[in-house]
Chain A
Amino acid sequence: MASASASAGYRVCPVTGLKVFLPTERLIQAVAVSAVVALLIGGIAALFVVLNRWLGPDVVAPSRFYMWIALHGWNMLVFWIVLFEVALLYFASSVLLSTRLVWPRLAWVSLGLMVVGVALTDVAVVRTPQNYLSFQPYVPLQGTPDFYLGPILFTVGSLSALAVFFATIYTAQKEKVVGRSLPLVVYGAAVAAIIAVATLVVGAMAFIPAFLWSLGLVGSVDAFWWKLTYWGFGHPAQQINLAAMITVWYFLAYITVGGVTPSEKVSRLAFVCYLVAINLGSAHHLQTEASGALSVPWKWINTGYLVHLAVLGSMIHAFAVPAAIEIGQRLRGHGQGWFRWLIKAPWGNPAFSSLVLSIALFGFLGGTSGVIYGTEQPNLLWHNTLAVVGHFKGTVVLGTTLAFMGVTWYVLPLIFRRQVVGRPLAVVQPWLFGVGMALLAVAFMKLGVADGVPRKQGDIFLFGGSAFAFPYPAHVWAWMAVAGIGGLLGVLGGAIFVGLVVGTVLMGKRLSEAELKGGYGLPGAVPAPVGGAVHSLPVPKGTLVLTIIFWLFFLAMYLRAFAQLSSTWPLGH
């Protein structure tokens, strides 16, 4: 039953009042389902990676480990996240602006290209050991041509999706569907999309020569130059994930508790920080290279001031998003004391618990560790150890993936219009996934920084029977068990997520307009509108206390890293 106000090709969402363009809705469904398939493949691979690290080569052989970790990296870090981001871009441009998606046919072609790219890469990896190059296929190790062609097709597909996104916003503004100022969430998505264009162009610059080289059409590619340009793609790719995650944070703060950012101006400015110097983050992947190759001032400017400007942006969001939650709660009658707004929050809503876990774990584990190990000297301790893995479990898994999982609990009733099956499981899912992956992240950071346990290693038990093999001390195995248990909990949490999404899409009860209007089938109660005009927002004093605790933790961890480094052999003095 379409509302009377809806024009042809649209329906009006009974919950949000947004005009949903039906072709957009179908596209979002298809892209989101593809994303979850990639998550499933990556999750199966994760299980074997964890078992090899924890239980050793008898359970998963080293060569198999390299295959699984390559599959895991590509499907999780690239395919799952980017596909989900494409769904977000269609949602932010067409649904949030209540406008039509321009070029829907191009959008379908783009999805086709991306799916072919995923298939090509995955098949290439499974087919031959030459392609066990993981997410860092450093030249001159050479994959087969299809291994490079897969990501190239995926990239072209993603670029087409970005074109649809920008054209949709441009058309909406030209046709005066929206004014000059975009909503903050759309603005954040647009920032992620701009970073994505730059990233993907650099990605093509890295992968196309490698593809030609694998075909024998170019003689050789310089190894050092490749690593620099490769990270010119790999680093900003993480800035996209960051910007998309923060965008989802603002969206979830709004939809779960009626959050309001303390300052539109400051939040927008923080997004602009991400745009500045996005590519220069590439430099912090080359911190252990001798200063004769990359000078100290070059490293200092690029990985110090310029990258820290983006960090400042994140610090601002680290206050603004919790403050938005606090303000939303205080406006709705939970205004007493310092932390009543947090205690009285909708903890039974899996989207809300995902949001809070994502903010806290990204901040304390992912964000702080990234700044510390991206710093020139502590990087000497972290480089290529399990600590790096611990760091990015804190960012792209506990941060981005958890936030994306959280918003999915709204996508299912609002876009698929189906009631989520297994509601009690959905409530525990964020905790299982969050706590499990946090255990793994902490254990990996410990194993990497204190013991230097390498990350891309298929056998830390016997070293493949090398004559120089040695045993790690007992505490390494204790921490590895923590990581193993955490990893299994994480895989379980991921499996529950995939199971519930697939179950809902295939068998969830269809929700009628009336049911949705009454809030039935939504993960939590719809926040009541605030009566009367709000002239001044309540002070987020609880958030200020929490962020000051975070500030002190950050400083302490930073100084601790230098203390640890200072006990190692003097180098380069």
Chain B
Amino acid sequence: MVTAPERVWWRVPVSRAEMVWIVLAFLLVMVFFSLWMALWHGIGRQNATGAAYKVAPQTYREEVFAFARQWKVGEENGIPVVAPPPGSHVYLLAQRFSWYPILKLKAGETYHLHMASTDVLHGFSLSPHQWAIQLYPGYEWVMSFTPDKPGTYHIICNDFCGLGHQTMLGKIIVEG
């Protein structure tokens, strides 16, 4: 290994033990792992499937404000609480260092979630933990989702967005 191989190394047959391992490893990673990824799109219910659009920050901001005005039911810490009807399109805006608005949703109903940043990269994540989505300025994602368990979910920005990053929290309320 440290000196040049003495025998013609490409002619030395592979031992049975190593052959067994190579076959096992191949089946696991090249066959099972690779296929399973595609399979989960059929049998699984959690995939980052959704539309993507290029959007100017100002345009997106106006979309979100119009949405919040339409379904506003209250206010918390200066952020509107918004209760859109089940099955509708709901909007979330990420900007340094807040999430806008607060969403009030019905458990078990499906919504079409629009998400974008208007300044730098942010990370959408929830506590209790569900999943995390990377957000960009200039790009709008639309993903359908079903909040199936009631409760209060805190939105935590999980990508560094500046010195106030640790304060960037929001909220989604899921009613039973």
Q: A residues touching B (Cβ–Cβ < 8 Å)? A: 62-63, 66, 96, 129, 132-134, 136, 138, 140-141, 178-179, 181-185, 222-224, 227, 250-251, 253-255, 259-268, 286-293, 296, 299-300, 303-305, 308-309, 311-312, 315-316, 318-320, 323-324, 371, 375-377, 380-385, 449-452, 454-460, 463-470, 472, 537, 539-541, 543-544, 547-548, 551, 554-555, 558, 562, 565-566, 568-573
C-alpha spacing A543/B1, complex, angstroms: 19
Q: B residues touching A (Cβ–Cβ < 8 Å)? A: 1-5, 9-10, 12, 14-18, 20-22, 24-26, 28-30, 32-34, 36-38, 40-41, 44-53, 77, 110, 119-121, 123, 125-134, 136-139, 141-149, 154, 156-171
Whether the pair B37, A571 counts as a contact (CB closer than 8 A) is: no
C-alpha spacing A260/B3, complex, angstroms: 11
Whether the pair A568, B51 counts as a contact (CB closer than 8 A) is: no
C-alpha spacing A255/B158, complex, angstroms: 45
C-alpha spacing A268/B4, complex, angstroms: 13
Chain B contacts for A547, CB-based, 8 A: 21
Chain B contacts for A260, CB-based, 8 A: 1
Nearest 6 interchain pairs by C-beta: A452-B129, A292-B52, A572-B49, A315-B25, A293-B52, A468-B169
Chain B contacts for A572, CB-based, 8 A: 46-50, 143-145
Chain A contacts for B138, CB-based, 8 A: 222-224
Whether the pair A316, B25 counts as a contact (CB closer than 8 A) is: yes
Contact of A266 among B22, B49, B132, B160 (CB under 8 A): B22
Chain A contacts for B14, CB-based, 8 A: 262-263, 265-266
Whether the pair B133, A288 counts as a contact (CB closer than 8 A) is: yes
Known: A227-B121, A385-B158. A96 touches B2 (CB 8 A): yes
C-alpha spacing A141/B20, complex, angstroms: 50
Chain B contacts for A551, CB-based, 8 A: 24-25, 28
- Nearest A residue to B21 via CB reads A319
Whether the pair B12, A264 counts as a contact (CB closer than 8 A) is: yes
C-alpha spacing A442/B73, complex, angstroms: 43
- Nearest A residue to B161 via CB reads A141
C-alpha spacing A66/B161, complex, angstroms: 11
Whether the pair B1, A254 counts as a contact (CB closer than 8 A) is: yes
Chain B contacts for A66, CB-based, 8 A: 160, 163, 165
C-alpha spacing A372/B148, complex, angstroms: 25
Chain B contacts for A323, CB-based, 8 A: 17-18
- Nearest B residue to A179 via CB reads B4
Whether the pair A312, B30 counts as a contact (CB closer than 8 A) is: yes
Whether the pair B48, A537 counts as a contact (CB closer than 8 A) is: no
Whether the pair B170, A468 counts as a contact (CB closer than 8 A) is: yes
Chain A contacts for B4, CB-based, 8 A: 178-179, 181-183
CB distance from B77 to the nearest CB of A (A): 4
C-alpha spacing A539/B17, complex, angstroms: 7
Known: A540-B17, A572-B49, A573-B146. A554 touches B28 (CB 8 A): yes
Whether the pair A468, B5 counts as a contact (CB closer than 8 A) is: no
C-alpha spacing A450/B51, complex, angstroms: 28
CB distance from B23 to the nearest CB of A (A): 11
Known: A312-B30, A316-B25. A376 touches B169 (CB 8 A): no
Chain A contacts for B131, CB-based, 8 A: 288, 380-381, 383, 565, 568-569, 571
C-alpha spacing A237/B85, complex, angstroms: 47
Whether the pair B154, A470 counts as a contact (CB closer than 8 A) is: yes
- Nearest A residue to B20 via CB reads A544
Chain B contacts for A288, CB-based, 8 A: 48, 131-134
CB distance from B61 to the nearest CB of A (A): 16
Whether the pair B146, A570 counts as a contact (CB closer than 8 A) is: yes
Contact of A140 among B1, B2, B137 (CB under 8 A): B137
Whether the pair B46, A570 counts as a contact (CB closer than 8 A) is: yes
Known: A263-B18, A288-B131. A253 touches B1 (CB 8 A): yes
Chain B contacts for A320, CB-based, 8 A: 18
- Nearest A residue to B131 via CB reads A380
Contact of B33 among A292, A383, A452, A558 (CB under 8 A): A558
CB distance from B158 to the nearest CB of A (A): 4
Whether the pair B45, A570 counts as a contact (CB closer than 8 A) is: yes
Q: Which of A385, A451, A467, A569 has the most CB of B within 10 A?
A: A569
C-alpha spacing A457/B161, complex, angstroms: 10
Whether the pair A371, B33 counts as a contact (CB closer than 8 A) is: yes
- Nearest B residue to A133 via CB reads B160
Known: A319-B21, A463-B167. A304 touches B125 (CB 8 A): no
- Nearest A residue to B45 via CB reads A570
Whether the pair B33, A308 counts as a contact (CB closer than 8 A) is: yes
Whether the pair B48, A290 counts as a contact (CB closer than 8 A) is: yes
Known: A262-B18, A371-B29, A465-B167. A568 touches B46 (CB 8 A): yes
Whether the pair A181, B50 counts as a contact (CB closer than 8 A) is: no
Known: A304-B37, A470-B127. A452 touches B132 (CB 8 A): yes
C-alpha spacing A382/B129, complex, angstroms: 10
Can you name 6 A-B residue pairings with CB atoms under 8 Å?
A183-B4, A223-B121, A263-B18, A288-B132, A452-B126, A569-B46
CB distance from A419 to the nearest CB of B (A): 23
Whether the pair A384, B127 counts as a contact (CB closer than 8 A) is: no
C-alpha spacing A271/B146, complex, angstroms: 44
Contact of A289 among B29, B129, B134, B163 (CB under 8 A): B134
Known: A262-B17, A320-B18, A571-B131. A181 touches B34 (CB 8 A): no
CB distance from B100 to the nearest CB of A (A): 12
C-alpha spacing A529/B91, complex, angstroms: 71
Chain B contacts for A266, CB-based, 8 A: 14, 18, 22
- Known contacts A185-B1, A569-B147, A572-B50; can you find 15 more A-B pairs with CB under 8 A? A223-B121, A224-B139, A253-B1, A262-B18, A288-B132, A290-B52, A292-B50, A296-B41, A296-B47, A455-B158, A460-B166, A470-B127, A539-B16, A558-B33, A568-B46
Known: A63-B163, A468-B77, A548-B24. A290 touches B49 (CB 8 A): yes
Contact of B154 among A179, A184, A468 (CB under 8 A): A468
